[in-house]
Amino acid sequence: MANYHKDYAFLMDNHYSKQAEIAAEAIGRLDFPRNLPKFTYVDIGSHVGKLTGLVLDILAQYYPPIDVHCVEPDSETFQELQANIRQKEVIFYNANFQHWLRSPGQSLSGRVDILVNSHTFYHYPEYSWPEIIQESDKLLTPHGKHVVIIDSAGSSLNEIKPVLDSKIPNKRHDAFGRFLKGSDLEMYFGSAGINYTREELPSPIHFNDNEEALDGVCHMLGFVMRYNPDDVKKYAAKDVQDFMAQYKKGGMIVFPRNQDFFVLPKQ
Ligand SMILES: C[S@@+](CC[C@H](N)C(=O)[O-])C[C@H]1O[C@@H](n2cnc3c(N)ncnc32)[C@H](O)[C@@H]1O
């Protein structure tokens, strides 16, 4: 069985991806009133705190003092998160978002300036999206924003998805929900009458073009598209190699990839 947390750490660390830095910069560009007596930042699915730490550094330039609430359900990851984010004004919750919203989260009703759901939505079953979005909205201040970040449909990685779908017999390993793209969320926001803005954040993924690249790319595709990484290599190695060949550039393989950055203002 795949280990979701190790696979995600692999995606963030084992090759050159500035996904978190790019997302944090986009959060830093959002407009909030200055001179607030206090700023409240809620981070859902914090993992080991890479994005959280970057966002905190950026927000601290404009909006001190900041109260931070981090929600992370995986116990092992939660311990790493606590060790990594050491500011004393952080409150940590070892809970999933749905549970957190029903009890501890309610105490923040009307007080949250920014609620961040970065690369988390595929963990929430679709039937729970209306409740999640409504309950999140209740937490926001009048100028508050719910930020949702997810892989975009406009990424090169999606080009190989149909090939993998046709060749790999076990479509998903079911460890962490379905492969979800920004366009799926956009359809839902449209149908539910939810106000949002969307920005595409170019966030390429780089691999060194060496002997280990095939394993690395299979692992990355497996993680992002919900296959066992071994199956990607077993059933589609030649297709992955052809795909890699299209994106070779000066000793590197650079896959153009985008994150969709949605901002849901107070509805
Ligand atoms: C892909 S990581 C994203 C980490 C970070 N937010 C980022 O953008 O880099 C998803 C995180 O969400 C957590 N997660 C999984 N199910 C969740 C749930 N129901 N509620 C909140 N977080 C969840 C996972 O444990 C993992 O740490």
pLDDT tens for the chain, 267 residues: list them. Answer: 568 888 888 888 877 889 999 999 999 999 999 889 999 999 999 999 999 999 999 999 988 799 999 999 999 999 999 999 987 789 999 999 999 999 999 999 999 999 999 999 999 999 999 999 999 999 999 999 999 999 998 788 889 999 999 999 877 666 567 788 999 999 999 999 999 999 999 999 999 999 999 999 999 998 888 888 889 999 999 999 999 999 998 999 999 999 999 999 999
Whether the CB of 145 sits within 6 Å of ligand 1: no
**CB-based contacts of 194: which residues, under 8 Å, 6+ apart?**
133, 188, 264, 267
Whether the CB of 120 sits within 6 Å of ligand 1: yes
CATH topology of domain 4-155+177-205+256-265: Rossmann fold (3.40.50)
Which residue's alpha carbon is at the smallest distance from atom 13 of ligand 1? 45
Q: Give residue 181's identity as a one-letter amino acid code.
A: K
CA of 96 to the centre of ligand 1 (A): 9
Q: Where are the domains of the chain?
A: 4-155+177-205+256-265
C-alpha 65/C-alpha 195 separation (Å) is 29
Mutate to test the pocket of ligand 1, among 123, 132, 151 (most ligand atoms within 8 A of CB): 123
CA of 120 to the centre of ligand 1 (A): 5
Look-up: residue for tokens 């650079």?
Answer: 254
pTM (2 decimals)? 0.95
CA of 154 to the centre of ligand 1 (A): 22
Query: Where on the phi/psi map is residue 103: left (φ > 0), alpha (ψ -120 to 50), or beta?
Result: alpha
CA of 126 to the centre of ligand 1 (A): 16
Whether the CB of 8 sits within 6 Å of ligand 1: yes
Query: What torsion, rounded to 10 degrees, do the Cα atoms 145, 146, 147, 151 define?
Result: -150
